Amino acid sequence: MVDGQLKRNRNILKHFHKAGKTTILQSELFNKGFDPNYFTNYWKTQANEVYLFCYEYGFLSIRESTKKKYLIIDWQVYMEKC
């Protein structure tokens, strides 16, 4: 069950993430079955933002105006040092 949800999350993030940084409505991810409680690792930025990762795809919950969104990024080698 856990492994299945992790793989589902990864596939959903991959589907929506095109390159660099992608911003998407939280509802769009959730409608596809995304569950942010399932992740493989995390990375904390110097600004104390914590990106959760499903394998090579990271996501950060953000709010733009009144809309809940997720910022999706790719895992980078420099993140290993943090």
Give the pLDDT confidence of 21-31 residue by residue, as tens digits: 999 999 999 99
Residue 50 one-letter amino acid: V
- pLDDT of 60-76, one tens digit each? 999 988 999 999 999 88
pLDDT of 78: 79
Q: Are strands 41-44 and 57-64 parallel, antiparallel or unpaired?
A: unpaired
Q: Report the C-alpha dihedral over residues 16, 21, 25, 30, rounded to 10 degrees.
A: 50
Average pLDDT value for residue range 43-57: 94
